[in-house]
Amino acid sequence: KPLVEFARRKQTVARRILAYLDDIGEGPSTGVTNVYFGHTHLAISDFAYRGVLFHNGGAPINGLRFRVLEAKT
């Protein structure tokens, strides 16, 4: 059950971010392929949702996963 909840959380976060990006005219239709974000404390790497990869380094808080993300620009 925890694994299913984790996957659902990732999908919920990705869906909300894509909705926001679409609202501001910066969604996948503009060529966005990778989204790097923070503040959710949820470590994510290469999570694919609707053709976009999502990345979040997590949180440097005791007991939570954290790592510095590298982005190629």
Q: What per-residue confidence (pLDDT) applies to 21?
A: 95
pLDDT at 57 exceeding the cut of 70? yes
Q: What per-residue confidence (pLDDT) applies to 15?
A: 95
- Taking CA atoms, 20 is separated from 2, 24, 33, 65, 68, in Å, by 27, 6, 15, 26, 24
Residue-wise pLDDT tens digits, 23-38 = 999 999 999 999 988 7
Q: What per-residue confidence (pLDDT) applies to 42?
A: 74
pLDDT at 47 exceeding the cut of 60? yes
Identify which has the larger pLDDT, 22 or 56. Answer: 22
**DSSP strand E in the chain: where?**
34-36, 44-49, 52-56
The span from the CA of 50 to the CA of 14, in Å, is 9
